[in-house]
A and B are shown apart, each in its own frame.
Chain A
Amino acid sequence: MKTCLVVDDSGVVRKIARRILEEMGFEITEAEDGEKALEVCKLAMPNAVLLDWNMPVMDGYEFLGHLRRLPGGDVPKVVFCTTENGMDHISRALHAGANEYIMKPFDKDIVAAKFQEVGLVELSEPTPV
């Protein structure tokens, strides 16, 4: 089973994301800031990281920088999921090695589309209408 680490300081957001991603067949671990997320990754690299930007202790951007320098840290597909919806933030994230970017608010369709985009889930049945 594919694993996804959900990193967000809001318990509510983590819960919503967990529900959506579990439905898509992922096994979920959670972390409430970048530092805790790094600990999780050092133990076992997940297949995917859904990553908030603004968090206490260590933000998502800094986490990504550290992650990509870890052994095997280039493997996880990192999908930002943040209220930071400016072009400048998106560009910075991509330069730092993010694979996709979700602007909050998000829903199931968006998460599914973005995870398809990075090749982590099969194409769903095409929508007929």
Chain B
Amino acid sequence: MTPPDYEYLRKLLKDHSGLDLSADKQYLIESRLLPLSRKCGLAGISELVQKMKGGASTIVAQVVEAMTTNETFFFRDKVPFDHFRDSIVPEVLKARAARKSIRIWCAAGSTGQEPYSLAMSLKEMSAALAGWRIEIIATDLSQEVLEKSKAGIYSQFEVQRGLPIQMLVKYFKQNGELWQINADIRAMVQHRQLNLLHDFSQLGMFDVIFCRNVLIYFDQDTKINIFGRLAKSMEADGFLVLGAAETVVGLTDVFKPFPDKRGLYRPNAARAATAAPKIAAMAGR
């Protein structure tokens, strides 16, 4: 790959998906984009770049999708889902007892394992949630993973990573070598295509946001920007759950770590308090 082609792709990816590639990731681009260029009937990466420079927007979308890492599995890292069951949901049950509704957002849902893990967890707690309105919204940049998520069909390998066998028996139907998650669990999750670089305020306010293993690909400014907007989409007493290698510490004070619960963050009340007088003043005018 020529250095100018590499620079072109780096910038394109940064602008379109936030992916922040260091100067030495040529092999990664080649391993993902050579198969794509072949699929498009092109000789190689420089032809692909030529096409994009000529304004082929469908190819741009395909390139951006091909460069996303979609690795995920059920109950990934386990601990966040224990927090969800033992701390987050009980807390929301108290805080929203009057409204009886809970809104959850999986901000990089990939092929569905994460939103469906949450849906199954809630199903396990259905006695406490009787009469509650539950919304789980799974979004992702990639249309392809969203389609797979909607179908809810997984390989034997995928259902053996992180999913307890009792849950497989309880919530899946077998179809040869494939396993499909039951329709009632599928129905708990809504799917939307969404790029985290773009405005997402139209999704409304959430009690819980899972935003895991996606910010890790972005540069610092992008992370800070997204944290700021996540905070605006979250109720003041909501919960943010990040991936194992992600944190707000050192980047922003709009969220603060929840003591003794790794990966769990809450909106910073002190921040809200300093912002509140301004709003009050405006309202008084």
User: Interface residues, chain A, CB within 8 Å of chain B?
Assistant: 85-87, 90-91, 94, 100-103, 106, 109-110, 113-114, 116-117, 123, 125-129
Contact = CB atoms under 8 A, between A and B. Distances in A.
25 contacts: A85-B177, A90-B165, A90-B168, A100-B164, A103-B160, A106-B160, A109-B161, A110-B157, A114-B160, A114-B165, A117-B164, A123-B77, A123-B78, A123-B79, A126-B76, A126-B79, A126-B244, A127-B76, A127-B77, A127-B244, A128-B213, A128-B244, A128-B245, A129-B69, A129-B213
B2 interface: no
Contacts of B211: none
Contacts of A85: 156, 177
B174 interface: yes
Contacts of A110: 157, 160-161
B257 interface: no
A86 B177 CA distance: 9
Contacts of A113: 160-162
A129 B169 contact: no
Interface string B113-156: 00000000000000000000000000000000000000000001
A interface SS class:
mixed
A80 to B, nearest CB: 9
Contacts of A125: 244
Contacts of B69: 129
Interface string B72-90: 0000111100000000000
Nearest to B157: A110
B71 interface: yes
Given A114-B160, A126-B243, 15 more contacts: A85-B156, A87-B173, A90-B168, A94-B166, A113-B160, A113-B161, A125-B244, A126-B76, A126-B79, A128-B213, A128-B216, A129-B69, A129-B71, A129-B213, A129-B245
A70 to B, nearest CB: 23
Nearest to A102: B160
Nearest to A104: B156
Given A87-B174, A127-B77, A128-B244, A94 B169 contact: yes
Contacts of A114: 160, 165
Interface string B233-246: 00000000001110
Contacts of B78: 116, 123
Contacts of B244: 125-128
Nearest to A128: B245
A100 B165 CA distance: 6
Nearest to A112: B161
B167 to A, nearest CB: 10
Nearest to A123: B78
Contacts of A106: 160
B160 A128 contact: no
A91 B169 contact: yes
Contact of B169 (A87, A102, A126): A87
B68 to A, nearest CB: 12
Contacts of B162: 113
Question: Which 7 A-B residue pairings sit nearest by Cβ, starting from the closest?
Answer: A126-B244, A128-B245, A126-B77, A101-B165, A110-B160, A87-B174, A100-B165
Nearest to A117: B164
B111 to A, nearest CB: 15
B233 to A, nearest CB: 25
Interface in B155-214: 156-157, 160-162, 164-166, 168-169, 173-174, 177, 213
A98 B166 CA distance: 10
